[in-house]
Chains A and B, each alone.
Chain A
Amino acid sequence: MTAEKKRDYKTITEIRELREESLKKIGARIGVGDYDGADIHIMVCGSTGCTSSGSGKLLEKLNLLMAEDGLNEKVAIVKTGCFGLCAEGPIVMVQPGNYMYTQVNPDDLDEIWECHIKGGRPVERLISQNETEFFSKQKRVALRNCGRIDPECIDEYIAFDGYEALSMVLTEMEPEDVIDAIKESGLRGRGGGGFPAGVKWEAAAKQESKEKYICCNADEGDPGAFMDRSILEGDPHSVIEAMAIAGYAVGAHKGFVYIRAEYPIAVERLRTAIAQAREYGLLGKNILGRGFEFDIEIRLGAGAFVCGEGSALMISIEGNRGEPRPKPPRATEKGLFSKPTVLNNVETFANVPQIIVKGVEWYNSIGTEKSKGTKVFAVSGKINNTGLVEIPMGTSLREIIYDIGGGIPGDKKFKAAQTGGPSGGCIPADLIDTPIDYDSLTSLGSMMGSGGLIVMDETTCMVDIAKFFLEFTVEESCGKCPPCRIGTKRMLEIITRITEGKGSMEDLDELEELSEAIQRGALCGLGQSAPNPVLSTMKYFKDEYIAHVRDKKCPAGVCISMLRYIIEKESCKRCGICAKNCPVGAISGSKEWPYVIDQDKCIKCGVCMSKCPFKSIMKNA
């Protein structure tokens, strides 16, 4: 037994030494001349998108190849977070040199291994052509480590300034200084509302209470949004570090991360990261030996969209049905377990360590006057480069879609982009040059939301999209307050009627009236914003609604009951294939007579159109 009791934390000096060491080990990856680790780093994306398209098999194969050739010293294989270009997954990046290989299959890997890794000649044929256009207009702050480090290795996080912010805060700053820095940085909540984070922290700090909580909202429920998941999968320590900083600033010693159970990889990485942070004493009773105590617990959501709403989230952590409660009191006064609570979302937290390390002025230099910093968007729908992008606030929608996103497949016409999910609205094609920030989106009747951005082209029906979001809201309404529970249901009935060609012009007025009542009467933010998708599509695409109601037509050819399949007499070769394949016998004709579709019998399944060898059957909206 030694006289000295073993310390269960690392000191700040030790962390800084570890940083130097760790950076040297991965020096080749970032082009540092003087390194002592592997010469080549093969970075394989291990986040949900690329795992789904087979990156796991690539990792297995790489490990086999490395063992066979005995290159363990020379080559490092790193499972990283998301690179962003999810449409082209699985992605493998070889460093140094940023050689990005996309849609890699195991056979390609043999070639990359032989030519590039062993022979030093990159395989031009497989290198992504989109890499430059995709990355050049982006600025990665919240995603800085995604694709750059192994998220399951705390040392790699430490290498890139990891836990330096926490070290600085605990040695050089009073809690008030931290709050001032976050306030001055202009960081606003990235989860939807855009409330200034520093103001929230200050409100909680002012409360007199022994117990306070820091909560992280990782219940990313907006369909089509996967920013927070990617951050947690690619850089979980940034969130842990930020939560500890928030804890120090407001005087809290316990944090909760409320995360969707649908994100198993993110949950696992976060678990690993928390365990590593505890081991280094970066969470625990005496963090960095500075006498500050903070720890984090993970709570899994269980598939309720409403739990992304602040009060519902806390009520769910308490073990109840996640139903929102009226405000005030605000969470900063009476939140989780009735104690003062700060709730920020994942992306908001991910910005915090950088603000501390690089300074308020640096952060202020990015973005627009009222929206500082960057925003991560999950861009999907009718776009070539589906994936995750991080742009400085103020970037235009055109730049996102055409420069970063690579345009719309099949050169179809851009019709609108939907932001903010079921609480947001759409931006039509003629406003494509709008700079994206909190205030410009709100003034257009949409909202920043958490960052889902769905691109729609001319084949998308705007009434159908509004109906889709309403179906979502009706399904996910918690049922506590009548305006949301009953009002959205009535709206859905009306809009369904319209898409079935049974609507009247009065229905449009009623939709507007109901929307206003729900906006004014619903209990929580989700209910109040539920009519937004309808209102904004009605604002910009009123003609489509009118076409459905008055002309009984769906201009985009989506709404099935208004759809007619028609056989073009001139090009029909009277082969009879359509009639044979029609499941309901709605097509008749013969060698002598042109084939026709009996519209009363037709169930609009579209089989005839797909089977016709001469493309003689048309969809007529």
Chain B
Amino acid sequence: MCCENQALMDEMLAKVIEEHKDMPGALIPVLHEAQAIYGYLPEDVMKKISEGLGEPVAKVYGVATFYSQFSLTKKGKFKINVCMGTACYVKGSADILNKLKERLAIEVGECTEDGKFSLDACRCIGACGLAPVITVNDEVYGRLTEADIDDIIDKYEAMEA
């Protein structure tokens, strides 16, 4: 099953590279699409992109590591992002982040051992009216206090079970 998936993903990547080959400045759009396919940017994917677009691997790696949206490590099934924009910060997002670190026992940028949760601090998502805000995948949780965190995580834990 896994290998079939792998083959399917590789095929999708090859198509993306083919479509973007002649576009000026194609590297960043291709990296975006590759990350959408694989969930992150593994080394062999970056190599394939390098070959496909005729760019040195060093450049692909350089660009992938420059931009914070690109991840070279696997993310959790539930991706938690804590907004650290000014409005959220002023309203206590640092406390929220600490609480999450404590609950999940991981640091920012890490993924729990069971692969369920990954934790990141992100730049302003613009939902400043709801500050402080976190997102779990595409779901937004606003006007939070530390006390809300356990309930949110419990909800996703239960979803898995």
Indicate the member of B24, B89, B128, B129 with the most A CB atoms within 10 Å. B129
Interface string of B48-66 (1 = CB under 8 A from A): 0000000100010011001
Residue A486 lies at the interface, judged by CB distance under 8 Å to chain B: no
Contact A381-B90, Cβ < 8 Å, known A263-B126, A302-B68: yes
Q: Report the nearest A residue to B30, measured CB to CB.
A: A319
Q: Report the nearest A residue to B59, measured CB to CB.
A: A320
Partner of A261, one of B32, B124, B127: B32
Assembly CA distance A552 to B70 (angstroms):
41
B87 → A minimal CB distance (Å): 4
Residue A52 lies at the interface, judged by CB distance under 8 Å to chain B: yes
Interface string of A301-339 (1 = CB under 8 A from B): 111110000000000111111100000000000000100
Contact A468-B28, Cβ < 8 Å, known A89-B129, A303-B68, A378-B128: no
Q: Are A221 and B28 in contact (CB under 8 A)?
A: no
Q: Report the nearest B residue to A320, measured CB to CB.
A: B63
Residue A387 lies at the interface, judged by CB distance under 8 Å to chain B: yes
Q: Which of A138-146, A187-195, A222-230 contacts B (4 or more CB under 8 A)?
A: A222-230
Q: Are B25 and A317 in contact (CB under 8 A)?
A: yes
Q: Are B126 and A316 in contact (CB under 8 A)?
A: no
Contact A223-B62, Cβ < 8 Å, known A261-B69, A318-B25: no
Q: Are A386 and B63 in contact (CB under 8 A)?
A: no
Partner of B126, one of A229, A305, A382: A229
Assembly CA distance A319 to B29 (angstroms):
8
Contact A221-B123, Cβ < 8 Å, known A86-B128, A320-B63: yes
Contact A418-B86, Cβ < 8 Å, known A87-B129, A302-B70, A319-B25: yes
Interface string of A445-476 (1 = CB under 8 A from B): 00000001010100010000100100000000
Chain A residues numbered 415-468 whose CB sits less than 8 Å from any CB in chain B:
418, 421, 452, 454, 456, 460, 465, 468
Q: Report the nearest A residue to B63, measured CB to CB.
A: A321
Q: Report the nearest A residue to B24, measured CB to CB.
A: A337
Contact A226-B63, Cβ < 8 Å, known A381-B87, A456-B90: no
Q: Are B87 and A302 in contact (CB under 8 A)?
A: no
Interface string of A573-601 (1 = CB under 8 A from B): 00000000000000000000000000000
Residue B27 lies at the interface, judged by CB distance under 8 Å to chain A: yes
Q: Report the nearest A residue to B125, measured CB to CB.
A: A262
Residues of A close to B122: CB separation below 8 A: 262
Partner of B86, one of A261, A304, A452: A452
Assembly CA distance A200 to B129 (angstroms):
35
Residue A16 lies at the interface, judged by CB distance under 8 Å to chain B: no
Q: Are A321 and B62 in contact (CB under 8 A)?
A: yes
Residues of B close to A224: CB separation below 8 A: 85-87, 124, 128
Residues of B close to A262: CB separation below 8 A: 69, 122-123, 125-126
Q: Are A300 and B85 in contact (CB under 8 A)?
A: no
Contact A52-B87, Cβ < 8 Å, known A302-B28, A302-B70, A378-B128: no
Residues of A close to B28: CB separation below 8 A: 299-300, 302, 316, 319
Q: Report the nearest A residue to B90, measured CB to CB.
A: A381
Partner of B85, one of A48, A223, A337: A223
A100 → B minimal CB distance (Å): 15
Contact A299-B29, Cβ < 8 Å, known A223-B124, A226-B128, A318-B24: yes
Interface string of B7-30 (1 = CB under 8 A from A): 000000000000000001111110
Assembly CA distance A618 to B136 (angstroms):
35
Contact A52-B127, Cβ < 8 Å, known A322-B66, A460-B90: yes
Assembly CA distance A382 to B131 (angstroms):
10
Indicate the member of B68, B122, B123, B126 with the most A CB atoms within 10 Å. B126
Assembly CA distance A301 to B128 (angstroms):
21
Assembly CA distance A48 to B83 (angstroms):
14
Interface string of B111-140 (1 = CB under 8 A from A): 000000000001111111111010000001
Q: Are B86 and A380 in contact (CB under 8 A)?
A: yes
Assembly CA distance A13 to B57 (angstroms):
54
Residues of A close to B125: CB separation below 8 A: 48, 262
Assembly CA distance A304 to B66 (angstroms):
8
Partner of A454, one of B29, B59, B63, B90: B90
Residues of B close to A303: CB separation below 8 A: 67-70, 123
Q: Are A386 and B66 in contact (CB under 8 A)?
A: no
Assembly CA distance A245 to B32 (angstroms):
31
Residue B31 lies at the interface, judged by CB distance under 8 Å to chain A: yes
Q: Report the nearest A residue to B53, measured CB to CB.
A: A319
Residues of B close to A302: CB separation below 8 A: 28, 31-32, 67-70
Assembly CA distance A491 to B128 (angstroms):
28
Residues of B close to A299: CB separation below 8 A: 25, 28-29
Q: Report the nearest B residue to A84, measured CB to CB.
A: B129
Q: Report the nearest A residue to B31, measured CB to CB.
A: A302
Interface string of B29-50 (1 = CB under 8 A from A): 1011000000000000000000
Indicate the member of B26, B70, B84 with the most A CB atoms within 10 Å. B84
B82 → A minimal CB distance (Å): 13
A455 → B minimal CB distance (Å): 9
Interface string of B90-126 (1 = CB under 8 A from A): 1100000000000000000000000000000011111
Partner of A49, one of B67, B69, B130: B130
Residue A53 lies at the interface, judged by CB distance under 8 Å to chain B: yes
Partner of B131, one of A321, A380, A456: A380
Residues of B close to A454: CB separation below 8 A: 86-87, 90
Residues of A close to B27: CB separation below 8 A: 319-320
Residue B76 lies at the interface, judged by CB distance under 8 Å to chain A: no
Residues of A close to B31: CB separation below 8 A: 302
Partner of A380, one of B29, B66, B128: B128
Q: Are A380 and B123 in contact (CB under 8 A)?
A: no
Q: Are B127 and A48 in contact (CB under 8 A)?
A: yes
Residues of A close to B124: CB separation below 8 A: 221-226
Residues of B close to A380: CB separation below 8 A: 86-87, 128-129, 131
Assembly CA distance A187 to B122 (angstroms):
33
Closest 8 CB pairs of A and B: A86-B129, A302-B67, A319-B25, A226-B126, A223-B85, A380-B87, A303-B68, A303-B69
* Interchain Cβ contacts under 8 Å between A and B, 23 examples: A48-B126, A52-B133, A52-B140, A53-B129, A86-B127, A86-B130, A88-B129, A89-B129, A220-B126, A223-B89, A224-B85, A262-B126, A263-B126, A302-B31, A302-B32, A302-B67, A302-B70, A303-B69, A318-B24, A321-B62, A386-B87, A386-B129, A456-B90
Which residues of B are in contact with A by a Cβ distance under 8 Å?
A: 24-29, 31-32, 55, 59, 62-63, 66-70, 84-87, 89-91, 122-131, 133, 140, 142
9 new A-B contacts at CB < 8 Å, known A319-B28, A320-B63? A51-B140, A224-B128, A261-B69, A302-B31, A302-B70, A303-B68, A319-B24, A319-B25, A380-B128
